[in-house]
Structures are given as C-alpha cells and as structure tokens.
C-alpha cells in the first residue's frame, strides 16, 4: 500500500515526558484522515515531526515515500501545512504573503498570478487581500493559513485544528473545502477536536491518547469493532421474563427498561436482531418495533479514551 | 478550485528560494518603524554636523575654511553603525520565534541556511542602500559647505568600511537573537556591550595609553598620530574607522602611526604642569588598516557561525 504518511515506532520525549510513544501511523493516499485525541494527547507533536519541525527521539517517518528529516527543504515541496492558530508576519499583506511563499515553492509568476486570486476567493478574503495581516481578525488569519497550505497544490495537506477561530459559516466552508480538495486528489490529514467535523468529512480516523495509538481505521470499522451499539425494542407488554431471557444472551452487556421499550447494549456490531427477536418471543414477548443504532464517533472516542485512562491511570498528559 | 497535481513538479533552484527569503526580509525591514527612525536619526546627525559650521560662521562672521578632505574623512560614527544594526537586525531572528512566524516559514521548502542567509543578505541590501544615500548626501553637502572635495573616488571604500563595521553588530545581534530567541534580551546584550566598549575604550586609553589590546575590540580602537607633509594627522584605529584607514593606506602607503601615552604620573607628582606624552609604539598604516579588517571579519565570522549553528539546531516548540 502506498501511504502518504507512514511512521514506524515514532517516539518523541521531552525530558522524562513521552509525548509520542511508538506511534505507527499510516495515512492512505487520497483520503481525508482524521487525527483525534484529547488535549495533550500528542497530536501537534506528531504533526510537528511530520513537517520536520521536531526531530523524533526514536523511530522513523516517511511522508509521500520520503524519509523526513529536520531542515530537509525539498521534502516539503509537496506538503501544505497549516499550524494550529497560525501566525504570519504582520507587516505583510495577505496577497504578498502568498506571493512570497509561492516563490519559495518555485511557482512561476504566471502560476502565482493564477493561483493566489483563486485561493483568496476560495477562503473568503476577496477585497481584504491587500490589507496588512496585522489588521486581520483571528478568523481571517485562519483563512489565510488555509490558503497558504493549499498554495502549491500539495499532494498532502496537513491541517492542525483548521476550524479554530472560524464562525459557523466559516467552519462549514472549510469542511466543504476539504471535501473538494480531497476529490481533486489531495490527501488531507486533519487534526481536530471537533468530533462532528471529523465524523462528517473523514474516511479514516486515528485516535491517540498519551502519545499512543488507540485505534486507526475507517470510521465504520472503528465503530463496528470498538463501539457499543444500542438496540431499541418496543413491545406490547414488557415482562420480567423477557428481560431475563435477553440478559442471558452472550453478546448483551446491559439492559434498561423504559415503559414498554427495552434498551439493550450489545458488545458486537454483528446483526443480532434475529437472536434477540427469538429470545423475546421465546419468553412470550410481542415485538412492535426493533432498531439497532451504531454509536457515533463521540461515543467511540470517549469510550476509548476512558478505557485508556483506566488502564494507565498514572500516565502524564503529553504536551500538545 | 482547479488544482493541477504536480507530482513531477520541478525542484525550484536554490537561488529562487533564497531570493524569496530576501524579499520577505526586505519588506519587513523597510516597513519597520524602528528602521525608519534610525534612518531619520542618521540623516539628522549628518545634517547637524554639516550645518553647525555654517551656523557658527553666520553667527561669528568668520568664513568657513575650505576643507577638500572633509567628505573622505567623514567615516561615520560608532553610534550610527550600532543604530543601523539595531534597526535592521535586532529582531530579525528572535522575533520570528517570539511571534510564531517561524513555524509557517520553516515548513516551506526553504532550509534554515537559506533563511539565515536570506535574512543576512536582506539586512545587507537595506543597510547598503541606506549608506549609499547617506554618503551621497554627506558628499554633496560637504561640497556645498567646504568647497570642492578631493579623492572622492575613495568614497566606496569608506562605504564598504562602514558596512563591515556595521555588520559586526549585525552579526552579534543575529547570534544573540538565535541563542536567546528574545528581542529584549538581544538588544540589552548588544547595547550593554556597545556602552561598555564606549566607556571602556576611553578609560583604557587614559590609564594605559593607546594600548595594542584596544585594536582587538570592536569599536573605536586606539588613537594615534601620523605625520603627513609635516602635519600631525590624528588617526583613530579600530573597526569603526576601517574605511577611513583603508583610504589613508591608499593615500599614504608609507605612513606610520605613532601611539603614545600621556604621562599622568608626572602631572600628579607636580613635575610638569602640562601633560607630556611618551611614545608607546609605531605601526605602519597598512598594518593598522589590515588588522582592523581582519579583526572585523573575525568577529563577523564567529558571530555569524554561532547564529547559523544555533538556528539550524533549533527545535521549534512554539
């Protein structure tokens, strides 16, 4: 498999603190890959290693098939990176900044003349491109940050919390933008704490905590293999015999009674409706309706992180 | 957006990327209020120095004596060199770290060496252009105030000397800025060193005379005299007088500079009422000029090397 990002036992320590711990991250090309973790999980540290800002303590990193080294300028030719809360020189105008960065990428005057106005419009800064960045609001700085990350039509775009500071309309626009650029062949690696954002646009998700990977797969697979599911069964009459019969099923981890509705938490995402139905009717119950709901990313995320915290209660939070 | 994937994108040349950094730095410099302030101060100092004799002449009625060597001996001052260095380089590196601008910059396809050299060259171009304008102004004003000027073909040497002198401070600011990543600390260290030398050199001169050790410090160095056509000409050595002494060497290649010490003890003992001097040592002007050049380059090289290594090794935690 050809990966846009591939890390092998990536470890980064700051003194006695392990910010990233033997991380084996794989980002498939032409996907939108969400990178999730609570504050201090090591997301930003990982990203900084990917873009060559930090040197790993151990392990290796390949981006677009090339080993990443600190200060390897050529390895960044095909990467667009937007840092978390990006800061740009206040003395430059928005268009000037993009022009200078475009020159650094080796874009010709014609390429810059075509690409810069397009990006300015795309990120919603038209009419403000000739203002000094020092006069930009936080949201506008975020927008110019997105523009500079897309300037070189990179193969891989790394976005660290791109929605911070944006208004709701801006957040929707950014999500649409990520979908568009992904369709056009770019790989998007998105670090975000907005789970609904990740859920809406990402094909793949990696969840980390305390620098270690907790899960990495497609959203569907993560939900299926890790997340609990709830079944809602509506009966004409909910008896204790029915509850008792359901509880005996090996994949049931919990039951709750709400009027004539029985909520069942199951440990698997296999379709177990037939077995449940058999158990209910066998105990004399009459089913009016039945549904099985998969957990959303938030539930999966919370479950994984909570489990990890319970398993390693003494681990320190890593730096972001 | 229409994106065109450029997987076989040609690699931009080193010079293209370097020049982009130079533009980045130059745009910053010319928009810095500090730099504009320094430029105004430098022109104000030059104007005051040139206009003062005119005002005195008008007041006293004594005509200004023609001085055909005025422009060529107007070598700039330590303060001007220091101010230009501060105006362009005080936050060139440190502010990138303080503001967080370093993150998007170093994640572009430019190496830290390119960034370092681009910033250095940007500062060089800005100071060079400023000095060309400043020295053109001084030369023109000298002609107006002191009459036709001799040896103006040596003005570029004065200018180069001033640039080298300024770059000692620029290099120091780059080095301290790279290490501390803090603009206030960078300025305080540079200002502290400048003021220390400004005070220490005259003090050493009074106590030990024109000690040879002064020639190895950045700044005004030791003071001596050179006999030219039976006239004793004051020669200030040191890196700040590099340009003037290179011109002196071209004009008087056989000249010798005599360094003396004032006999303070004799005055204190009441042996003499007027200060007497004793010759400490004599050196050819060629040695004075070349040594200042060597010392200046040694400082520049060491400071820049430190700045480059530190910048290259920096991990960006911002």
ipTM of the complex model: 0.84
The confidence score (pLDDT) of residue B230 equals 84
Nearest CA in chain A to B22: A100
Interchain CB contact of A148 with B (< 8 Å): yes
CATH of range A3-223; options 3.40.50.300, 3.30.930.10, 3.40.1390.10, 3.30.70.2190: 3.40.50.300
Nearest-CB residue to B1 (from A71, A122, A155) = A122
The percentage of residues in chain B with a pLDDT greater than 90, rounded to a whole number, is 54
Question: Mean pLDDT for each consecutive 10-residue tract of chain A (320 residues)?
Answer: 91 92 94 90 93 92 91 89 93 95 94 95 92 92 94 94 86 88 91 85 90 86 67 88 92 83 79 88 91 71 74 54
Cα–Cα distance for residue pair B244/B229, rounded to 1 Å: 18
Beta strand spans in B203-317 (E)? 223-228, 231-236, 256-262, 277-284
Domains in chain B: boundaries: 14-206+297-313
Nearest CA in chain A to B100: A87
The confidence score (pLDDT) of residue B228 equals 86
Interchain CB contact of B30 with A (< 8 Å): no
CB contacts of B115 in chain A (<8 Å) are: none
Nearest CA in chain B to A68: B107
Interchain CB contact of B33 with A (< 8 Å): no
Give B77's Cβ-side CA count (13 Å radius). 10
In this complex, do A150 and B111 lie within 8 Å of one another by their Cβ atoms? no
Interchain CB contact of B55 with A (< 8 Å): no
In this complex, do B3 and A96 lie within 8 Å of one another by their Cβ atoms? no
The CA–CA distances, whole Å, from A78 to A63, A93, B6, B102, B129 equal 9, 24, 8, 19, 37
The confidence score (pLDDT) of residue A191 equals 93
CB contacts of A74 in chain B (<8 Å) are: 11, 109
- What band does B271 get if pLDDT is binned at 50, 70 and 90? low
Residue B14 has pLDDT above 90, yes or no: yes
In this complex, do B11 and A77 lie within 8 Å of one another by their Cβ atoms? yes
Interchain CB contact of B23 with A (< 8 Å): yes
Domains in chain A: boundaries: 3-223, 228-294
The confidence score (pLDDT) of residue B318 equals 65
- Better-predicted residue by pLDDT, A227 or B59: B59
- Better-predicted residue by pLDDT, B306 or A258: B306
Interchain CB contact of A92 with B (< 8 Å): yes
In this complex, do A105 and B12 lie within 8 Å of one another by their Cβ atoms? yes
CA angle A110, A113, A114 (to 5 degrees): 90
Nearest CA in chain A to B2: A184
- Better-predicted residue by pLDDT, A293 or B19: B19
Residue B121 has pLDDT above 50, yes or no: yes
Cα–Cα distance for residue pair A195/A212, rounded to 1 Å: 19
The confidence score (pLDDT) of residue B164 equals 95
Backbone angles phi and psi of B43, in degrees to 5: -70, -35
Residue B127 has pLDDT above 70, yes or no: yes
CATH of range A228-294; options 3.40.50.80, 3.30.70.100, 3.30.43.10, 3.40.50.970: 3.30.70.100
The confidence score (pLDDT) of residue B61 equals 86
The percentage of residues in chain B with a pLDDT greater than 70, rounded to a whole number, is 92
């Amino acid at each position: 498999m050809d990966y846009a990002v591939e890390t092998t036992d990536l470890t980064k320590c700051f003194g006695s603190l392990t910010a990233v711990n033997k991380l084996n991250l794989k980002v498939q090309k032409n996907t939108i890959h969400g990178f999730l973790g609570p504050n201090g999980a090591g997301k930003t540290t990982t990203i900084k290693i990917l873009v060559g800002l930090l040197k790993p303590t151990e392990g290796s990193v390949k981006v677009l098939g090339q080993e990443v080294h600190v200060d390897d300028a050529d390895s960044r030719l095909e990467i667009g990176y937007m840092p978390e809360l990006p800061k740009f020189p206040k003395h430059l105008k928005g268009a000037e900044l993009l022009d200078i960065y475009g020159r650094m990428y080796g874009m010709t005057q014609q390429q810059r003349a075509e690409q810069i106005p397009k990006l300015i419009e795309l990120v919603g800064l038209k009419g403000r491109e000739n203002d000094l960045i020092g006069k930009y609001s936080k949201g506008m700085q975020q927008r110019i940050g997105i523009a500079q990350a897309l300037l070189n039509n990179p193969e891989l775009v790394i976005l660290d919390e791109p929605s911070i500071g944006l208004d709701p309309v801006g957040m929707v626009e950014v999500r649409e933008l990520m979908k568009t650029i992904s369709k056009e062949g770019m790989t998007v690696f998105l670090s975000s704490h907005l789970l609904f954002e990740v859920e809406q646009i990402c094909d793949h998700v990696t969840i980390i905590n305390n620098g270690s990977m907790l899960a990495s797969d497609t959203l569907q697979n993560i939900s299926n293999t890790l997340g609990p599911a709830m079944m809602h069964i509506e009966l004409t009459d909910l008896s204790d015999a029915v509850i008792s019969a359901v509880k005996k099923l090996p994949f049931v981890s919990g039951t709750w009674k709400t009027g004539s509705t029985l909520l069942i938490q199951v440990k698997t995402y296999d379709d177990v409706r037939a077995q449940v139905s058999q158990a209910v009717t066998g105990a004399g119950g009459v089913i009016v309706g039945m549904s099985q709901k998969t957990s959303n990313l938030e539930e999966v995320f919370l479950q994984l992180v909570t489990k990890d915290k319970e398993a390693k209660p003494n681990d320190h939070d890593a730096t972001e | 957006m229409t994106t065109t994937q450029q997987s076989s994108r040609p690699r931009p040349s080193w010079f293209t990327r370097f020049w982009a950094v130079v533009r980045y730095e130059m745009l910053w410099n010319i928009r810095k209020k500090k730099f504009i302030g320094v430029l105004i101060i430098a022109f104000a100092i030059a104007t005051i120095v040139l206009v003062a004799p005119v005002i005195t002449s008008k007041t006293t009625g004594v005509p200004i004596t023609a001085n055909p060597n005025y422009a060529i001996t107007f070598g700039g001052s330590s303060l001007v060199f220091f101010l230009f260095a501060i105006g362009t380089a005080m936050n060139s590196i440190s502010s990138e770290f303080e503001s967080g601008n370093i993150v998007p910059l170093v994640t572009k396809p430019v190496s830290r060496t390119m960034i370092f050299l681009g910033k250095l060259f940007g500062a060089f171009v800005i100071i060079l252009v400023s000095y060309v304008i400043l020295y053109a102004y001084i030369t023109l004003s000298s002609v107006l105030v002191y009459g036709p000027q001799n040896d103006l073909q040596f003005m570029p040497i004065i200018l180069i000397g001033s640039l080298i002198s300024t770059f000692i401070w620029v290099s120091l600011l780059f080095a301290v800025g790279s290490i501390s990543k803090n603009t206030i600390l960078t300025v305080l260290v540079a200002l502290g060193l400048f003021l220390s030398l400004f005070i220490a050199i005259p003090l050493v001169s009074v106590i030990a005379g024109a000690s040879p050790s002064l020639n190895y410090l950045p700044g005004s160095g030791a003071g001596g005299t050179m006999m030219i056509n039976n006239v004793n000409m004051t020669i200030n050595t040191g890196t700040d007088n590099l340009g003037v002494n290179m011109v002196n060497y071209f004009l008087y290649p056989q000249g010798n500079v005599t360094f003396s010490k004032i006999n303070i003890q004799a005055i204190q003992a009441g042996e003499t009422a007027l200060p007497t001097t004793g010759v400490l040592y004599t050196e050819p002007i060629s040695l004075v000029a070349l040594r200042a050049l060597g010392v200046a380059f040694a400082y520049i090289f060491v400071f820049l090397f430190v700045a480059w290594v530190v910048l290259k090794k920096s991990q960006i935690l911002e």
